[in-house]
Structures are given as structure tokens and as C-alpha cells.
Amino acid sequence: MTPTPSATNGAAAVDPLVDVLAYLITAARTQLDEAAEYAPMRILTAAQRLGDALRPDAPDALRRLISALDAVPPTATPRTDRAEYTSMVDGLCAELTDCLIALTATEPVTSDDAPGHPA
């Protein structure tokens, strides 16, 4: 993982996955001093950053999940309307389920494709 010069100041850019790792670690520390309501917001922010890193090569199913993450407001917390927030996160979980099913779906194996079947 070689750093690349930043377009803005010539400094080495950090790999997007390292950025997510750094965010998660510092968010864990910050969370020790913050209200518990901020934890889901910080986790979803990390998910958004990871989605941004995955987006360029993402298959359609993953792009749909990333788009759903993009719709999450950056300051959304369960503090104002817990039921609405819970519904939003449940919707993301449903999108994740659909994504994982699509990414792991395989074509059914027919008897002609079975190992050991003469070609």
C-alpha cells in the first residue's frame, strides 16, 4: 500500500481502507466521552466511508446498498425520533440482506455440470 501524493497539498494520501480503520479506532475513543446516541451515527459514517472506497469496483447489488447508505444524513441519531431511526437502520439491514443474497447467489448445478460427468 503505497501512499500517493494528494492533489491539494502534495502530502501522501491515505488508502481509503486505512481511513476507515483510523475512523473506527478514533470513534471508539470519542465514544467513551460522548452520549450513547452517537455510536450508531459513527458506525454508519464508517460504513459510508467503506462504501465510498468500494464503490468504483462494486457490482450492482453492492452499489444499491451503497446508495442506501448515501441517503443516511451525516448527523442522524436516534435521539430525536428513535422509531424512525430504527426503521431507517432496519431498512439498511434489509438492503444488506438483499445485497448478500445477490452476491452469494450461484447458478444451479445441473447433472451435466456435476464433477465426474463425462463431457
Read off the pLDDT of residues 67-116 as tens digits, 9 standing for 90 and up: 999 999 988 898 889 999 999 999 999 999 999 999 998 755 455 554 55
Burial of 111 per CB tally in 10 Å (0-12, 13-18, 19+):
exposed
Amino acid at the residue 10: G
**Whether residue 117 has pLDDT greater than 50:** no
Domain boundaries, the chain: 11-104
Cβ atoms 65, 51 nearer than 8 A: yes
pLDDT in tens, 29-52: 999 999 998 999 999 999 999 999
Task: Please enumerate in sequence order all residues whose Cβ is within 8 A of that of 14, keeping only pairs 6 or more positions apart, or say none.
Answer: 3, 22
Detail the DSSP E strand segments found in 1-119.
4-5, 12-13
The whole-number pLDDT of residue 6 equals: 45
**Whether residue 4 has pLDDT greater than 50:** no
From 102, 80, 78, 101, select the one nearest 90 (Cα to Cα): 78
**Whether residue 13 has pLDDT greater than 80:** no
The whole-number pLDDT of residue 2 equals: 47
**Whether residue 5 has pLDDT greater than 80:** no
Cβ atoms 97, 105 nearer than 8 A: no
Strand partners, 12: 5
**What's the pTM value of the predicted model, to 2 decimals?**
0.74
Cβ atoms 103, 59 nearer than 8 A: yes
